[in-house]
Structure 1
Amino acid sequence: MVDDLVKKLLESGVHFGHQTQRWNPKMKRFIFGQRSGIYIIDLEKTAENLGYAKDFVRDIAAKGGKILFVGTKKQAQMIV
């Protein structure tokens, strides 16, 4: 199942991160590499952590909590 998710993430272009000069050092462990001045995100780690995030959001929502989604990419503007 993780392999299917990684494939879908790759097809969607999720692996393209920020420009190499605009990054947060705390994200280093999630960066697979870089290409043409753009960081490439490790999709296996992304898939793994999406599961944790899903569970966390579900638990907050079940308790009636509020959830704020923030996106920094123009491509995700309408979804977020």
Structure 2
Amino acid sequence: MSEQQRKTTTYLRETDIWRLDALARKQGLTRAELLRRIVSEYVEDHRPEKEPLPVFDLGEPMSVAEQERALTEALERKAGRR
């Protein structure tokens, strides 16, 4: 089943229209179909969820004792700043 379409109006430079028409003729498409394909491809390639997730370096794994020691040191540093 095809997705419903809605008419839009966009102003383009004359030279871009000529180039679009030439590309459309070469591919055997209408200008409208070429524009639909161009827009669909662009928005698919730039979807927010396609952006890579940030990477965090948390260092080497720590034992429970090392975690407790690091937490105690951080709390002591914070208490010393008061």
When normalised by structure 1's length, the TM-score is 0.35
When normalised by structure 2's length, the TM-score is 0.34
Q: State the structure with more CA Rg.
A: 2
Question: More strand by proportion, 1 or 2?
Answer: 1
